[in-house]
Amino acid sequence: MFLIQVLPVGTPLDRCLAIARSHEGPTWLGAGAFVMLLGMGASLRSALRRLPPRMRAEPGPLVVLPVDEPTAFAVPGKPGHVVVSAGMLRRLDGDERRVLLAHERAHLRRHHHRYLWVASMAAAVAPPLEPLRRRIRFATERWADEDAAGEVGDRRLVARTIARAALAQSDGAPAMALAGLGVRARIDALLEQPKARRASHLAGFTGLLVAAVGLTSSTVQVHHVAALLDHLCT
Residue 80: is its pLDDT beyond 80? yes
Distance of CA 130 to the CA centre of its chain: 15
> Positive or negative, the Cα torsion across 45, 50, 51, 54?
positive
Predicted confidence at residue 36, as pLDDT, reads 53
Residue 82: is its pLDDT beyond 50? yes
> Positive or negative, the Cα torsion across 222, 143, 21, 4?
negative
Alpha helix ranges (H) inside the chain = 12-21, 27-49, 86-91, 94-109, 112-125, 130-152, 155-168, 183-191, 199-216, 225-232
Query: 115 near 103, Cβ under 8 Å?
Result: no
Distance of CA 5 to the CA centre of its chain: 14
128-137, 154-163, 202-211: segment of lowest average pLDDT = 202-211
Query: 38 near 140, Cβ under 8 Å?
Result: no
Mean pLDDT for the stretch of residues 79-86: 92
Question: In this structure, are strands 72-75 and 81-85 parallel, antiparallel, or unpaired?
Answer: antiparallel
Predicted confidence at residue 212, as pLDDT, reads 54
- Cα radius of gyration (the chain): 18
Interval 20-47: pLDDT, tens: 444 444 544 455 555 555 555 555 455 5
Query: 154 near 51, Cβ under 8 Å?
Result: no
Residue 203: is its pLDDT beyond 50? no
Please give the C-alpha separations between residue 86 and each of 56, 70, 129, 169, 232, in angstroms, as whole numbers: 19, 7, 38, 13, 32
Query: 152 near 98, Cβ under 8 Å?
Result: yes
Residues 192, 205: Cα–Cα separation, whole Å: 24
Residue 173: is its pLDDT beyond 70? no
Confidence tier at 68 by pLDDT (50, 70, 90):
very high
48-62, 78-92, 150-164, 207-221: segment of lowest average pLDDT = 207-221
Residue 112: is its pLDDT beyond 80? yes
Q: pTM for the whole thing? A: 0.62
Mean pLDDT for the stretch of residues 180-209: 66
Mean pLDDT for the stretch of residues 116-128: 86
Confidence tier at 55 by pLDDT (50, 70, 90):
very low
